[in-house]
């Protein structure tokens, strides 16, 4: 049995990494989706998607805030805006370009299914704060899932063109989905202590959920099992640097600026 | 096009909030949620296809509405309202 103090020491770094992964995922998702702001296919959907983007940014703020407890002297903004590329632990899927609307929706859908399963499990975490954060975010994520699934239905059952675009998006994104479940440094310790859910279990739950929906829309999961490596380890796609340039511009140009 | 009705609190009536465009009823409801309730305006939403709204627009306005002008007695203003009754 670990004493409370030694237990705390043991999980501090792993939990910090894990929180960064949650926060970075949502920050980058939000930043990417916000690129659609003012350019959505029609007004209502423009608002719908930017709502989702804002939900993601709100979630990232919760997780960064919690993470600051494990890193003295760093503020939420420091973590979000003043780290370098290799220090971000988001999955590569989140930074992947929006592409057309089918790809944007599919990416948001993949991520929503992941978050839904993750937060449902995090609600049972032994940690003191994660269950509450997960519960709050889960409500938002359930809607993201509903909305993106409605759109999948539209794309899959719409015209030949819309279906082709969705199928192309599946082709483009599939190899990046595996990275969602890659573990951060020390994550296995957290799993053992039941602070976070087991990533393999998450992965199979996610895959089952996707299979079920894909069957409904008669969509195929790509056969090639290859998955890109490097997510959660600070290894990124070529697209990531450009996101950071835009995201960090204000804090780099005007250090400490606030509004 | 869909007409959107929002209920601001449980028990109150649904009030017309505006319109949204959407291909299906499901999408109309989601769009209405995103456009009209994102600042906590609602507890319930109705959407109705705009084509099913029947309007008095274009009918004889005078015959329709003017006769009510001089019928003050239809307002329940001649009753004493007990002090305990609020919101009347």
Kindly report the number of other CB atoms within 10 A of residue B13's CB atom. 7
A7-20 per-position pLDDT tens digit: 677 788 999 999 99
Does residue B25 fall inside a structural domain?
yes
Distance between CA atoms of residues B34 and A44, nearest Å: 7
B5-38 per-position pLDDT tens digit: 999 999 999 999 999 999 899 999 999 999 999 8
Give me chain A's average pLDDT, please. 94
Kindly report the number of other CB atoms within 10 A of residue A240's CB atom. 20
pLDDT given at position B77: 74
Q: Annotate A67-89 with DSSP letters as a single string.
A: HHTTSTT--HHHHHHS--GGG--
Does residue B6 fall inside a structural domain?
yes
Written as six digits, the tokens of B74 are 């239809």
Residue recorded with tokens 């099913």:
B52
A138-178 per-position pLDDT tens digit: 999 999 999 999 999 999 999 999 999 999 999 999 999 99
Does residue B68 fall inside a structural domain?
no
In chain B, how many domains are there?
1
Q: Identify all chain A residues contacting B29, using CB atoms and an 8 Å cutoff.
A: none
pLDDT given at position B70: 81
What's the gap in Å between the CA of B47 and the closest CA on chain A?
Answer: 14
Does residue B72 fall inside a structural domain?
no
A142 interfacial to chain B (CB closer than 8 Å): no
Indicate the residue of A42, A43, A48 with minimum beta-carbon distance to B30: A48
Distance between CA atoms of residues A107 and A64, nearest Å: 23
Check B21 against A44: CB less than 8 A apart: yes
More reliable by pLDDT, A70 or A114: A114
Q: Is A39 helix (H, G, I), strand (E, B) or coil?
A: coil
pLDDT at A1 over 60: no
**pTM score, two decimals?**
0.88
Does residue B86 fall inside a structural domain?
no
pLDDT at B55 over 70: yes
Distance between CA atoms of residues A178 and A231, nearest Å: 9
Stated as kind and residue range, the H or E segment containing B16 is strand B15-20
Q: Is A134 helix (H, G, I), strand (E, B) or coil?
A: helix
Q: Provide the residue range defining the domain that includes B12.
A: 2-54
Does residue B10 fall inside a structural domain?
yes
What's the gap in Å between the CA of B55 and the closest CA on chain A?
Answer: 25
Does residue B60 fall inside a structural domain?
no
Q: What is the mean pLDDT of residues A252-259?
A: 86
Q: What is the CATH number of the domain that holds B35?
A: 3.10.20.520
Kindly report the number of other CB atoms within 10 A of residue A111's CB atom. 25
Does residue B64 fall inside a structural domain?
no
Exposed, middle or buried by CB within 10 Å (0-12, 13-18, 19+), for B32? buried
Check B34 against A146: CB less than 8 A apart: no
- Structural domains of chain A in order of their starting residue, each with its CATH number: 11-253 (1.20.1260.10)
Which residues have C-beta within 8 Å of that of residue A115, sequence separation ≥ 6?
A137, A138, A141, A144
A99-119 per-position pLDDT tens digit: 999 999 999 999 999 999 999
Distance of CA A253 to the CA centre of its chain: 27
Distance between CA atoms of residues B64 and B56, nearest Å: 9
Check A154 against B27: CB less than 8 A apart: yes
Band of residue B88 on the pLDDT scale cut at 50, 70, 90: low
A45 interfacial to chain B (CB closer than 8 Å): yes
Band of residue A59 on the pLDDT scale cut at 50, 70, 90: very high
pLDDT given at position A35: 96
CA A147, B33, A108 angle in degrees (round to 5)?
25
Distance between CA atoms of residues B26 and B50, nearest Å: 15
pLDDT at A256 over 60: yes
What's the gap in Å between the CA of A138 and the closest CA on chain B?
Answer: 17
A116 interfacial to chain B (CB closer than 8 Å): no
């Amino acid at each position: 049995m670990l004493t409370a103090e030694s237990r705390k020491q043991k999980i501090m770094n792993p939990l910090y990494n894990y929180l960064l992964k949650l926060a970075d995922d949502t920050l980058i998702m939000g930043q990417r989706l916000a690129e659609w702001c003012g350019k959505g296919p029609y007004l209502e959907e423009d608002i719908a998607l930017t709502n989702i983007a804002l939900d993601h940014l709100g979630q990232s703020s919760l997780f960064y805030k919690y993470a600051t407890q494990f890193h003295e002297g760093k503020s939420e903004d420091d973590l979000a805006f003043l780290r370098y590329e290799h220090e971000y632990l988001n999955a590569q899927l989140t930074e992947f370009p929006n592409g057309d609307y089918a790809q944007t929706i599919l990416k948001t859908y993949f991520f929503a299914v992941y978050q839904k399963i993750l937060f449902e499990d995090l609600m049972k975490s032994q940690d003191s704060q994660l269950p509450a954060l997960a519960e709050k975010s889960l409500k938002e994520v359930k809607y993201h899932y509903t909305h993106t699934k409605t759109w999948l239905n539209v794309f899959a059952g719409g015209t030949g063109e819309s279906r082709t675009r969705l199928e192309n998006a599946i082709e483009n994104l599939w190899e990046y989905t595996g990275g969602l479940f890659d573990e951060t440094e020390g994550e296995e310790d957290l799993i053992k202590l039941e602070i976070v859910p087991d990533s393999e279990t998450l992965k199979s739950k996610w895959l089952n959920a996707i299979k079920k929906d894909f069957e409904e829309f008669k969509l195929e999961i790509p056969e090639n099992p290859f998955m890109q490596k490097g997510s959660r380890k600070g290894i990124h796609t070529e697209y990531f640097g450009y996101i950071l340039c835009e995201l960090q511009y204000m804090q780099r140009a005007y250090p400490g600026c606030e509004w | 096009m869909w007409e959107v009705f929002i209920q601001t609190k449980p028990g109150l009536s649904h009030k017309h909030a505006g319109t949204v465009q959407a291909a299906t009823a499901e999408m109309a409801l989601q769009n209405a949620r995103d456009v009209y309730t994102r600042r906590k305006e609602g507890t319930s939403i109705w959407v109705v296809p705009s084509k099913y709204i029947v309007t008095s627009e274009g009918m004889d306005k005078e015959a329709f509405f003017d006769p009510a002008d001089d019928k003050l007695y239809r307002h329940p203003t001649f009753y004493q309202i007990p002090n305990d009754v609020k919101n009347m």
